[in-house]
Amino acid sequence: MLTEARSLLKWCQQSKRWIPTNPLDGVEGVGKRKHGKPQLRIDEARRWLAKANELASGGDEGAVAAMVALLLGMRATEIITRVVRDVDDAGNQIWIPSSKTENGKRTLRVPPELREHLLRLVESKAPGDLLFGPHWRDWVRKSVKRICTESGVPPVSAHSMRGLHATLAMEAGVTGAVVAASLGQGSASVSHRSVVRRSGGSVLGQTARRSAGPGRRQHRLTARHGTAGRDPPKLLLRFGGCWRRSFTRLAGAQRAGAGRTGGCTRD
């Protein structure tokens, strides 16, 4: 609340010249600022994804958008602003040429579970048409919550699904830098602070912070059900089946070098 109020008053002062000074400059909040959103448990997420897939197969475009938030970790604004030509390589890749930040420019691999739904959306549409049609970003949030209600799980936001995407990836042993690149964030520390759920005994404790510092060797995280050198648990592989494959491709692209940053294609 304090941050939002300070930003509003800064706009009033600097952009509109309505006030001579920002009265909240120098004001500090009491206590530690909270980050991240509540996330579904894995069994709950499975039920949610099964219901979303069922609705999407029946032609529910909102369900497809909600699946994109979870399986690709995209922001709501990134989802609603995608156009038909952004779905590329026979539906195996989606381009995000512009985003909230410079690091948000990236390409993402589409898991098979989502590919068929996206290909249906692009049928009979021009390359420049909006993939999901004209919507405000709250459409994605409402779609996520509607599926929560229909699947009988606690209501969560679209941003929570983005966070769950990161949490599952890191608990499967993916390094923080690659997760941050997939989410369109500048560093792993941003991912840990903003979207990754920390829980007692999980892999997201002290070892997760090792990947945040620039210039350090990126450490593979120890998965909750075994070491990172082993395959991730079946419950994670079955959950969309995309994390290990997608992030491995991103890591390979990151090492390739030229024309790529953080494993993601730039314009």
Q: What is the C-alpha to C-alpha distance for residues 194 and 181, in angstroms, rounded to an integer?
A: 14
Residue 90 has pLDDT above 50, yes or no: yes
Residue 3 has pLDDT above 70, yes or no: yes
**Contact criterion met (CB below 8 Å) for 26 and 20:** no
The confidence score (pLDDT) of residue 165 equals: 86
Q: What is the C-alpha to C-alpha distance for residues 67 and 113, in angstroms, rounded to an integer?
A: 9
Could you please state the CATH topology (level 3) that the domain comprising 42-151 is classified under.
hpI Integrase; Chain A (1.10.443)
CATH 1.10.443.10 range(s) for the chain read: 42-151
The confidence score (pLDDT) of residue 49 equals: 94
pLDDT per residue over 200-211, tens digit each?
433 333 333 333
Mean pLDDT of all residues in the chain? 74
Share of the chain above pLDDT 70, in %: 62
Q: For residues 196 and 200, which has the higher predicted lDDT (pLDDT)?
A: 196
Structure tokens at 11: 């706009």
Q: What is the C-alpha to C-alpha distance for residues 67 and 89, in angstroms, rounded to an integer?
A: 19
- DSSP per-residue string spanning 42-97: HHHHHHHHHHHHHHHHTT-HHHHHHHHHHHH---HHHHHT-BGGGEETTTTEEEE-
Q: What is the C-alpha to C-alpha distance for residues 228 and 207, in angstroms, rounded to an integer?
A: 12
The confidence score (pLDDT) of residue 179 equals: 60
The confidence score (pLDDT) of residue 36 equals: 59
Q: For residues 255 and 74, which has the higher predicted lDDT (pLDDT)?
A: 74
Q: For residues 84 and 42, which has the higher predicted lDDT (pLDDT)?
A: 84
pLDDT, average across residues 55-75: 95
Q: How many CB atoms lie within 10 A of CB 174?
A: 27
pLDDT, average across residues 190-209: 42
Residue 219 has pLDDT above 90, yes or no: no
Share of the chain above pLDDT 90, in %: 42
Q: What is the C-alpha to C-alpha distance for residues 191 and 95, in angstroms, rounded to an integer?
A: 21
pLDDT per residue over 12-61, tens digit each?
999 989 999 999 888 887 766 555 578 899 899 999 999 999 999 999 99
Structure tokens at 163: 């966070």
Q: For residues 258 and 167, which has the higher predicted lDDT (pLDDT)?
A: 167
**Contact criterion met (CB below 8 Å) for 191 and 185:** yes
- DSSP per-residue string spanning 161-209: HHHHHHHHHHHTT--HHHHHHHHT-S-HHHHHHHTPPP-TTSTTSGGGG
Residue 103 has pLDDT above 90, yes or no: no
